[in-house]
């Protein structure tokens, strides 16, 4: 439990670190993924979208140089089993926030080309509104922190 608080604090600091606050742009905060084990072929990425602009945004596609494929997934429960479904176009409406968190929506990287090591970062590229490109860095964190989410 103490670890969870510690992790939450780190995330808070990470989320609230002032970024280039651009009134015209979608802001993406606190992207992280858990470290992977040898041979692991897919992983989830969590982050938050903040849209303080007067326009709606739509994520059309995404990619990363460390994976063959990247998709946004939603989760739903079917006969007591948690399943994932690809979200073709994620909408982030004007003045809205969308949170991708463990147990819910997430970015799925498939066909991982390398092991993710605690403390390293990797990029994800987004195509937004069919024209704007945005690159973010994802922080890899220790899988020990993952266990605290399940408690």
Q: How far is the CB of 106 from Cu ion (least distance, A)?
A: 6
Q: Which window, 30-38, 80-88, 118-126, 134-142, contacts Cu ion (CB under 5 A)?
A: 80-88
Q: Taking the complex as a whole, how short is the minimal distance between the CB of residue 21 and Cu ion, in angstroms? A: 30
Minimum CB distance to Cu ion smaller for 87 or for 127: 87
SS (H, E, C) 119-146: CCEEEEEEEECCCEEEEEEEEEECCHHH
Q: To the nearest whole angstrom, how small is the minimum distance from the Cβ of residue 129 to Cu ion?
A: 24
Q: Which stretch binds Cu ion (CB under 5 A): 16-24, 104-112, 130-138, 142-150?
A: 104-112
Q: Residue 91 has which token pair?
A: 């909408």
Instruction: Provide the token pair at 124.
Output: 């994800």
| Residues 6 or more apart whose Cβ sits within 8 Å of residue 55 | 94
Could you tell me if 66 and 112 are in contact, meaning their C-beta atoms sit under 8 angstroms apart?
A: yes
Asked if 73 interacts with Cu ion (CB under 5 A), we say: yes
Using CB under 5 A, list all residues that contact Cu ion.
73, 84, 108
């Amino acid at each position: 439990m103490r670890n969870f608080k510690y992790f939450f604090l780190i995330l808070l600091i990470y989320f609230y670190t002032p970024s280039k606050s651009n009134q015209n742009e979608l802001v993406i905060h606190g992207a992280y993924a858990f470290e992977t084990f040898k041979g692991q072929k897919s992983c989830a990425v969590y982050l938050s979208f903040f849209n303080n602009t007067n326009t709606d945004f739509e994520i059309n596609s995404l990619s990363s140089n460390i994976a063959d494929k990247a998709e946004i997934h939603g989760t739903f429960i079917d006969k007591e089993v948690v399943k994932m479904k690809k979200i073709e176009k994620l909408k982030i409406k004007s003045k809205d926030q969308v949170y991708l968190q463990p147990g819910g929506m997430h970015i799925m990287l498939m066909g991982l080309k390398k092991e993710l090591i605690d403390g390293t970062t990797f990029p994800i590229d987004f195509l937004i509104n069919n024209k704007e490109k945005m690159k973010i860095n994802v922080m890899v964190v220790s899988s020990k922190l993952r266990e605290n989410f399940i408690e």
